[in-house]
Structure 1
C-alpha cells in the first residue's frame, strides 16, 4: 500500500502512478460516457452520438495528461 501511495503523489514521475491515474480516468470516462449515451435521445444520428462520446473521451485524456504533468 505504501508503494501505491508513493506512486500517486503529484507530480507523477513513474510508470505505476501514470498507470493508476490512467485506470482511474478510464473508469470515470466510462461512467460519463455511459450516462451520456443513456440520456442522448435515440432520434440523433449515430455519427452525432459518436462525436459526443469522442469529445468526452478526448476531454478526459486532456484532464488526465494535465493531472500527470501538474
Structure 2
C-alpha cells in the first residue's frame, strides 16, 4: 500500500495528464486475487506483477510494456 493514494487512483492520474498519458503502468501488488488484477487492468495498468516477484519476470514485463507503447 502506498501512503496517501492508491495505485489505482495514481494510474488514473498518470493516464489523465497529457505529458504522461502514454506511459505504460505495471501494477505491482501483494494483493494478487482475481479482483485486484482485474481492477488494475480496468484502471489502466498494462500488466500486473504479484509480490513477491522475481526480477527476471519484472524486467521482461517492463520490456514488453515499453515495446508495445512505441
What's the TM-score once normalised by structure 2's chain length?
0.36
Query: TM-score with structure 1 length normalisation?
Result: 0.36
Higher Cα Rg, which structure = 1
Higher relative contact order (CA 8 A, sep 6+): 1
Which protein is richer in helix relative to its size? 1
Select the structure that is richer in strand.
2
